[in-house]
């Protein structure tokens, strides 16, 4: 039962907020330095956000990253699921086996409610809602 997100999600949020605060195309090296990571790892972290068309990535001497308009509306749920995978993974929280919803464990109902509340909360918060207060 893991209720934390990885360093990747933290870096992705920081990078998106940095891009929001610095309009235009920003070199990966500048973003990496700002968020405290390496350029190769930053590239790995941002790849899912580029695939979702929230961030634009260009290579070459004038390349870098820029936040796309669609990225300005992303929620924490969308970002975390893009980086970490779906929150609902079909596994039983107690047994760590596939959950068919038929032969349920003792925590099934309570866990489903908690997971639903978490998803609702994360889905209701925009990544850029507090961008300038924490970067």
How confident is the model at residue 3, as a pLDDT? 62
pLDDT digits (tens, 9 = 90+) for 32-63: 999 999 999 999 999 999 999 999 999 988 89
Q: How many CB atoms lie within 10 A of CB 1?
A: 8
How many whole angstroms from its chain centre is CA 76?
6
pLDDT digits (tens, 9 = 90+) for 83-93: 988 877 677 87
The domain over range 7-134 is classified in CATH as 1.10.10.10: yes
| Full-model pTM | 0.82
How confident is the model at residue 74, as a pLDDT? 94
Q: How far apart are the first and last CA of the chain?
A: 30
* Alpha helices by DSSP H, the chain: 7-21, 28-35, 39-51, 76-84, 108-123, 131-134
Are the C-beta atoms of 54 and 47 separated by less than 8 Å?
no
pLDDT digits (tens, 9 = 90+) for 70-79: 899 999 999 9
How confident is the model at residue 131, as a pLDDT? 43
Using CA atoms, how far apart are residues 42 and 75, in angstroms rounded to an integer? 20
The helix (run of H) or strand (run of E) holding residue 55 is: strand 55-58
Give the residue extent of every domain in the chain: 7-134
């Amino acid at each position: 039962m893991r209720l934390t997100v990885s360093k990747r999600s933290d870096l992705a949020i920081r990078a998106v907020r940095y891009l929001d605060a610095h309009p235009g195309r920003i070199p990966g090296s500048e973003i990496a330095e700002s968020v405290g990571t390496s350029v190769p790892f930053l590239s790995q972290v941002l790849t899912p956000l580029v695939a979702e068309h929230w961030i634009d990535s260009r290579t070459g001497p004038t390349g870098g990253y820029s936040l796309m308009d669609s990225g300005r509306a992303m929620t924490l749920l969308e970002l975390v699921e893009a980086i970490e995978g779906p929150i609902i993974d079909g596994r039983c929280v107690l047994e760590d086996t596939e959950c068919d919803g038929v032969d349920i464990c003792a925590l099934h109902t309570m866990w489903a409610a908690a997971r639903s509340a978490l998803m609702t909360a994360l889905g209701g918060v925009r990544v850029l809602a507090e961008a300038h207060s924490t970067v």
